[in-house]
Amino acid sequence: MSSGGGGGGDQGRHGLYHQHGHGQLTRYDGAGGYELSNDDMESFFFSQPEGVGGGVRADEIAPYSSITSYLQGFLDPTGLARHLDVPAKHELSVDVRSHDQDSQGTGSAAGESAALLTPNSSVSFSSGGGDGEGKSRRSKKGRAQEPDDQEDGKDHEDGESSKTANNKPKKKAEKRPRLPRVSFLTKSEVDHLEDGYRWRKYGQKAVKNSPYPRSYYRCTTPKCGVKKRVERSYQDPSTVITTYEGQHTHHSPASLRGSAAHLFMPPGLHGLPPPHLIPPGVFHPELMSMMRMPYPSPNMHLLSVPPPPHHHPTSHPMAGTLQQYHFTDYALLQDLSTSTMPNNP
DNA sequence: CGCATTTGACCTGCGC
DNA sequence: GCGCAGGTCAAATGCG
């Protein structure tokens, strides 16, 4: 219960949120302005449709000729950073509003901008170490000497430096670079959305100031250190915030079998459906597959394609029109259908 | 029996 | 230095 009483206030804050390097969340209010917050991840928040249909054609999209190009960059951290024009971590000249990135930002400042995020959802990702990545803290008293069990490519790294079997002298484990993160806001009844991958829950924590707990999942595929956090927005209980960290090193088990995708595709359709069959703002399996994001569930609604990262947000050519990106744009979909999956063997 | 989830303890970073 | 909160571990438990 205790429905976080999101109060109408925030619900009205539709629009796209674009979060990126260096703990800054920029809320694209469609007017060319961004609000900053902190966090180190790329986020795309899909909000409610307001007047679906806008209808911006692909060729009108400035820096990105297609959604595919955008996604490619999105999937590739390097490319992403390039698009952001920020080495995955550094200032970006955005139009900061009143309360610009207050000081170090870590901390509670986030809430404000990230309207839908849980109070501290972003705090945790703060300062580098964030990637958690096993962080080789194995030296817990009881679990101490783990025979270096799984070396799924994540726990090692600074291993020698900080682990030190049972204790301390961990020499200043230098902060390792974070893995790319992407968070999505989705309207869903269920917390854990099926996304075609297999996850194992390894923890759950209560989030301060939020009645909803945050769950931690890890991809069960060996050597794939992708993790994701799932939490429900305290402001809008109907919104689930899923944050992915890292990139899968394998294909989605579901996509290989085509099981998940077909659930959202009209029978008989194997490719992309013609535009008139795609309702505005509907998730497209292939798109989600490309993004390696959760497949949509019937009660989810994707409203717009996230705004392509731009070098100068303040003068974003698409200012005020971002909400018009929809999957109904056949040009985009078609482009997607001909593109190839990254890492496709 | 094997795997996934639950859950309390522990570790770490950060703010005060 | 202390306390808080986020994140992770791993034993216990549940389920197919």
What confidence score (pLDDT) does residue A62 get? 32
* Residue A63 and residue A71 in contact, taking contact as beta carbons nearer than 8 Å: no
On the 0-12 / 13-18 / 19+ scale of CB atoms within 10 A, A318 is buried
Strand partners, A206: A213
Which helix (DSSP H) or strand (DSSP E) does residue A8 occupy? helix A7-11
The CA-atom distances, in angstroms, between A27 and each of A15, A18, A119, A238 are 8, 6, 16, 20
Band (pLDDT 50/70/90 cuts) for residue A275 is very low
Band (pLDDT 50/70/90 cuts) for residue A33 is very low
Q: Is the pLDDT of residue A1 over 70?
A: no
Distance, CA of A126 to C1' of B15, in Å? 13
What confidence score (pLDDT) does residue A107 get? 33
Q: Three-state SS string across A29-69, please?
A: CCCCCCCCCCCCCEEEECCCCCCCCCCCCHHHCCCCCCHHH
For tokens 């958690």, what's the residue?
A132
What confidence score (pLDDT) does residue A247 get? 75
The arithmetic mean of pLDDT across residues A306-325, rounded, is: 32
Helix, strand and coil content of chain A, in percent to the nearest 5, comes to 20, 15, 65
Distance, CA of A213 to C1' of C3, in Å? 21
Distance, CA of A119 to C1' of C3, in Å? 19
Query: What are the tens digits of pLDDT across the range A88-98?
Result: 222 222 222 33
Residue A131 DSSP SS3: helix
Q: Is strand C less than 7 A from the beta carbon of A258?
A: no
Nearest nucleic acid nucleotide to A106, CA to C1' distance? B14
Percent with pLDDT over 70 in chain A: 20
Q: pTM of this prediction?
A: 0.51
Which residues of A spanning 122-141 put their CB closer than 7 angstroms to strand B? 126-129, 135, 137, 139-141
When computed from its CA atoms, the radius of gyration of chain A, rounded to whole angstroms, is 20
What confidence score (pLDDT) does residue A134 get? 36
The arithmetic mean of pLDDT across residues A116-139, rounded, is: 38
In sequence order, which residues have a C-beta less than 8 Å from that of residue A200 and are 6 or more positions away? A217, A218, A219, A220
The arithmetic mean of pLDDT across residues A68-82, rounded, is: 37
Most confident of A17-21, A186-190, A236-240, A296-300: A236-240
Q: Is the pLDDT of residue A165 over 50?
A: no
Q: Which fold has domain A187-250?
A: N-terminal domain of TfIIb (2.20.25)
Q: Is strand C less than 7 A from the beta carbon of A175?
A: no
Q: Is strand C less than 7 A from the beta carbon of A203?
A: yes
Query: What are the tens digits of pLDDT across the range A170-182?
Result: 333 344 455 667 7
